[in-house]
Structure 1
Amino acid sequence: MRVHYVLNHGGTPASKLADVEIHFEEGLLAGLKLVGCSVWRSKKGDAPTVLVPSRSYATAGGVRYYELLRSSVDGAASAAGNGEDPAAKLAVRRFKDYVRDEYRKIAALPDEPPVPAERSSGKKAGAAR
C-alpha cells in the first residue's frame, strides 16, 4: 500500500492543500486506489486537517454522519455501548496523523529546479563536415 498526494497548487478551493489517494500494490486490491481523503488548511492556523470520507443521513434530530473509515473488528462499536470504540478512534487518529505528517514532509520540500536545456554547439544535428 502506498499513500499518494495530489497537491492543489492554486486550485479551488484555496484552503484544500491536497487530495490523498491510497494505492494498493499487493493482494486482491492490487492495481486499485481508494480516493476521498484530503488535507485542508486549518481555519485556526494550526496543523493541517485530514478529512476522511463519510456519508450523511437524516434523523429526527438532524443530520448525522456515517464514517467510512472505522474499525474492521466486528461488533467493536457496539461493544463500547455508546457506539464509540476507543481503540477504533485511536486507529483512525493514527491514520490521520500519518497522512498529516507525510504531507508536511512533502510541503517542506523545495520546488524542483527546472531541468536545464541541452546546450547546442552551434552545429546542426546530423551535419557532417
Structure 2
Amino acid sequence: MSEQSGHALPGPDNEATIRVRDERLLGPVLGRVVGMLAARANFPVDRLDDALLVTDAIAAHGPENAGDDDLGVTVTTEDGALRLRVGPLRDGGPSAMLQAAVLPSVGNVFERLADDVTADDEHLVIHVAAR
C-alpha cells in the first residue's frame, strides 16, 4: 500500500511483447527479455538456461515461419512459469517450427526443455516452469 494514498499499488508488469524485423537481433533481444522476466519469477539458474535454449530455438526457426515481415513474441510470467507465445506465424508455421527443432540424439528441443508446448493455427505457445 502506498503510505500517502492508502491504496495498493499495482505490481510490476510481468509481460513483454517484442516484434523484431531484423532476425539477427531476435536471439539477443529475446534472451535478454526472458532473462529479465525469469529473474522476476525467481527462476533457478538451470531453468533459466533451459529457457534461454528455448529462445535460441525460437530465434533459429521463427523468422522463416513468421506470418509478417517481423516476428512477435510475448513473454509472460505466471505462477512460477514463463509463457512464450510466438506468432502470428504463416500457415503451417507452428508445426514447421516444431519439426525444425528436432536435433539428432536430442529430439525436439522445445518438448525436451519446456514443460508444455501447444500450437494453434498461428501461434506456438511454450511454457517453462521454474520448478
Calculate the TM-score normalised by the size of structure 2: 0.30
Rg larger in structure: 1
Q: Greater RCO between the two (CA within 8 Å, min separation 6)?
A: 2
